[in-house]
Amino acid sequence: MPLAQTEVSRTASLFEGYDPGEFYDEMFSARGVPRPHYAKMFHWLAAMVPAQFEERRQLADLSFLMQGITFTVYSDGQGTERLFPFDLIPRILPRSEWERIERGLAQRVVALNLFLQDVYGQQRILKDRQIPRALVYSCQHFRREMIGVEVPRGIHTHISGIDLVRDSKTGEFLVLEDNVRTPSGVSYVLENRLVMTRTLPDAFQAYEVLPVNHYPAELSKILRNLSPRAGDEPQMVLLSPGIHNSAYFEHSFLAQQMGIELVEGRDLIVDGGVVYMKTIRGLKRVDVMYRRIDDDFLDPLTFRRDSLLGVPGLMGAYRAGSVALANAVGNGVADDKAVYSYVPAIIRYYLGEDPLLRNVETYVCSKETDLAYVRDHLAELVVKAVGESGGYGMLIGPVAERAKIADFRDLITANPRNYIAQPVVALSRVPSYHAATERMVGCHVDLRPYCLYNGEKVIVVPGGLTRVALQPGSLVVNSSQGGGSKDTWVLNGEA
Partner 1 sequence: MPEMLSRIADSLFWMARYIERAEDTARILDVNYHTMLERSHLPYRLRWDPLIVMAGEEKPFQHLYSEATASTVFEFLAFRPDNPSSIVQCIAKARENARTIRDRISREMWEDINGLYHMLGRFRPAEEIAAGPHRFCDAVKFACHRFHGVSDATLPHDDGWQFLRIGWALERAEATGRLVDVQYHNLLEAPRLELPPDNHQWMAVLRSVGAYEAYHREYHSPIRPEKVAEMLILHPQHPRSIRFSATEVQAGLRAISGTGPGSYANEAERLTGKVLESLRYNTIEEIFAHGLHAYLSELLKTWRSIGEDIARTYFYYAVVA
Question: Cα–Cα distance between 409 and 431 in angstroms, integer?
Answer: 36
Q: How far is the CB of 450 from partner 1 (least distance, A)?
A: 19
Range in contact with partner 1 (rule: CB under 8 A) among 3-11, 63-71, 139-147, 351-359: 63-71
Question: Cα–Cα distance between 356 and 38 in angstroms, integer?
Answer: 26
Instruction: Tell me if 448 sits within 8 A of 464, measured CB to CB.
Output: yes
Residue nearer to partner 1 on the CB measure, 25 or 264? 264
Q: Which amino acid is at 258?
A: M
Of residues 110, 263, 323, 364, which one binds partner 1 by CB under 8 A? 263
How far CA 390 is from CA of 178, 370, 393, in Å, comes to 12, 24, 9
Q: How far is the CB of 436 from partner 1 (least distance, A)?
A: 24
Question: Cα–Cα distance between 253 and 388 in angstroms, integer?
Answer: 26
Window 179-218: contact mask with partner 1 (x via CB under 8 A)? ----------------------------------------
Range in contact with partner 1 (rule: CB under 8 A) among 19-27, 94-102, 279-287, 450-458: 279-287
CA 336 remoteness from chain centre: 14
Residue nearer to partner 1 on the CB measure, 270 or 386? 270
Question: Contacts with partner 1: how many residues (CB under 8 A)?
Answer: 27
3-state SS assignment for residue 438:
coil
Residue nearer to partner 1 on the CB measure, 186 or 343? 186
The answer to the question of residue 264 lying near partner 1 (CB under 8 A) is: yes
The answer to the question of residue 267 lying near partner 1 (CB under 8 A) is: yes
Q: Quick check: bond before 179 cis, omega within 30?
A: no
Beta bridge partners of residue 296, listed in sequence order: none
Cβ neighbours around 369 below 10 Å, total: 9
Instruction: Kindly identify the residues of this chain, within the stretch 217-256, that bind partner 1 according to CB under 8 A.
Output: 235, 242-243, 248, 252-253, 255-256
The answer to the question of residue 271 lying near partner 1 (CB under 8 A) is: yes
Question: Cα–Cα distance between 204 and 167 in angstroms, integer?
Answer: 28
Q: How far is the CB of 247 from partner 1 (least distance, A)?
A: 13
Instruction: Kindly identify the residues of this chain, within the stretch 66-85, that bind partner 1 according to CB under 8 A.
Output: 66-68
Range in contact with partner 1 (rule: CB under 8 A) among 180-188, 260-268, 386-394, 404-412: 260-268
Instruction: Tell me if 290 sits within 8 A of 219, measured CB to CB.
Output: yes
Q: How far is the CB of 437 from partner 1 (least distance, A)?
A: 28
Window 284-323: contact mask with partner 1 (x via CB under 8 A)? x---------------------------------------
Question: Cα–Cα distance between 21 and 395 in angstroms, integer?
Answer: 25
Question: Cα–Cα distance between 175 and 84 in angstroms, integer?
Answer: 24
Cβ neighbours around 335 below 10 Å, total: 26
Instruction: Tell me if 338 sits within 8 A of 364, measured CB to CB.
Output: yes
Of residues 261, 312, 411, 423, which one binds partner 1 by CB under 8 A? 261
Residue nearer to partner 1 on the CB measure, 80 or 96? 80
Question: Cα–Cα distance between 305 and 328 in angstroms, integer?
Answer: 20
230, 231, 233, 235: CA torsion to nearest 10: -20
Question: Which backbone phi and psi does 228 adopt, to 5 degrees?
Answer: -75, -10
Residue nearer to partner 1 on the CB measure, 74 or 137? 74
Of residues 10, 129, 144, 281, which one binds partner 1 by CB under 8 A? 281
Q: How far is the CB of 342 from partner 1 (least distance, A)?
A: 39
Binding site for partner 1 (CB under 8 A): 65-68, 235, 242-243, 248, 252-253, 255-256, 261-264, 266-267, 269, 271, 277-282, 284
